[in-house]
Each structure stands twice: as structure tokens, then as C-alpha cells.
Chain A
Amino acid sequence: AQSVTQLDSQVPVFEEAPVELRCNYSSSVSVYLFWYVQYPNQGLQLLLKYLSGSTLVESINGFEAEFNKSQTSFHLRKPSVHISDTAEYFCAVSPYGGSQGNLIFGKGTKLSVKP
């Protein structure tokens, strides 16, 4: 079985400051790792994913996440945030090679970017 822990429920930050949203997971098998973003009153959108290969993955809007197998972590970072990044962010895992429809999500981190 897998589980995901997002260590911060809320992260307030000022515009143009760096941010890190933390995610740790537990699994007895290898997993794929994902970050999804949810804007108010919307569904989830995939931000980035780690499947294999390079442990650093990047999104098109400046976010990056690094897979750390020894620490079972997949923290999300952005060097300079914008007001438009205000949203809730969910870390998720799914078993390697298994069905990708069964995602295990953390409880989410609400990122609030202030001017």
C-alpha cells in the first residue's frame, strides 16, 4: 500500500519569493510521482511527474520537483512565485507499472501568494 504526506497544509508567501512545498511518500513498491494543481472551483491539472530517469523534473511554468529515493520525498519548488500561482497543490503516487487511474493523494497544500 502507498501513502502520501504533505507536511504543510498552508504556505503563505510574498510575490517573487521562493517557495518549497514538501511531499513525502511511503510505499513497499516503486512508484510514479505526481504534482497536481487545483485552482478554486476547478478540477485537478497535472503540473509535473516523475516516471524514471533524471530525478529533477520541471514544468512549463517554472516549477520543479526532485525525486529523492533515500528520503522518499518529492518536494516541489519555484524560485520566484506569482500571484497567479495561488492554488492548492496535491502530491500523488501510483504504483510503478500499475493502473494510473488509482492515484493516492496527499491532503494538499494551499499556496497563498501575497503582493
Chain B
Amino acid sequence: ETGVTQSPTHLIKTRGQQVTLRCSSQSGHNTVSWYQQALGQGPQFIFQYYREEENGRGNFPPRFSGLQFPNYSSELNVNALELDDSALYLCASIQGAHDTEAFFGQGTRLTVV
């Protein structure tokens, strides 16, 4: 039990649609990162938010966007869904931007058809 929860656990969307995934971090953790884990691959860093500002981004297009809220919750939004967006999406909560342990949620399995 990491204290990080994600919703929904599973989701099916149609190509071209938009989706919002949610994450509730541990209280006091002001940094959240999002990862995409395609089938058979390791997680890939999408972006990180620190105190409600994006402060790092991986190699993902702008249709991947996020928000972080003062109540330690966050969102990952993906517009114009493509089939290749099908993956497990993980959020990770970190107490501070330079703390050395990330606590992961159980993930949201997104299937794009």
C-alpha cells in the first residue's frame, strides 16, 4: 500500500477521443510524475509537476497534458487518442522534487479501439 490511488482502473476509449486520468498523491507530497507503460516495456516518463507547475517533460507530444491541484491530486489529459496510446498509465508521488523515493499508484489501463 503506497497511499497513491488512481482512477479509473480500466478505461476503453475510441480513437480520436479525449481522456482524463486521475491520481491522488500522499498528503504532503508536492511532486507528481506520470509514466506510460506499454505492453512488454518499462515505464516511460511523460512529465512531472512540482507545486502545480510542470517542471520536466519526456518525449511526448503536446496532446499529453496535465494538471496538479493544491489538494495533492493531479490529472493526465490525452487529446486525439491514437491506438498506440493504449498502455498502463502510472502516477508517482514524491515528497519533494529531490526526494529519492517515488511511490507509485496501481495504474490505469487505457485501451484505445
Q: Are A44 and B43 in contact, CB atoms less than 8 angstroms apart?
A: yes
A46 close to B (CB within 8 Å): yes
| A104–B99 CB distance below 8 A | no
Segment at the B interface, from A14-22, A54-62, A95-103? A95-103
Partner of A108 from B41, B45, B103 at Cβ < 8 Å: B41
Interface residues of A in 15-56 (CB under 8 A from B): 32, 36, 41-46, 49, 51
**A residues in contact with B28, CB < 8 Å:** none
Q: Choose one: A4, A97, A103, A107; the contact of B98 (CB below 8 Å).
A: A97
Q: How far is the CA of A15 from the CA of B49 in the complex (A)?
A: 42
Interface residues on chain B, size class: 20 to 34
A36, A100, A105, A107 interface centre (most CB from chain B within 10 Å): A100
Contact A43 B58 (CB under 8 A): no
Stretch of B11-19, B76-84, B104-112 with 4 or more beta carbons under 8 angstroms from chain A: B104-112
Q: How many chain-A residues does the 8 Å CB contact rule pick out? A: 26
* B8 interface hit (Cβ, 8 Å): no
Quick one: CB contact mask for B42-75 with A, threshold 8 Å, 1 for yes? Answer: 1111001010000110100000000000000000
B101 lies within 8 A of A107 (CB)? no
Nearest-Cβ distance from residue B68 to partner chain A, whole angstroms? 12
Output the least CB separation between B46 and chain A (Å): 10
**Which B residues are in CB contact (< 8 Å) with A67?**
none
List 8 extra interface pairs beyond A44-B92, A100-B100, CB under 8 A.
A4-B42, A42-B107, A43-B6, A99-B50, A99-B56, A100-B99, A101-B32, A103-B92
In the A-B complex, the 9 residue pairs with the smallest Cβ-Cβ separation, listed nearest first, are A105-B42, A101-B33, A43-B104, A101-B48, A44-B104, A43-B106, A107-B42, A105-B43, A102-B45
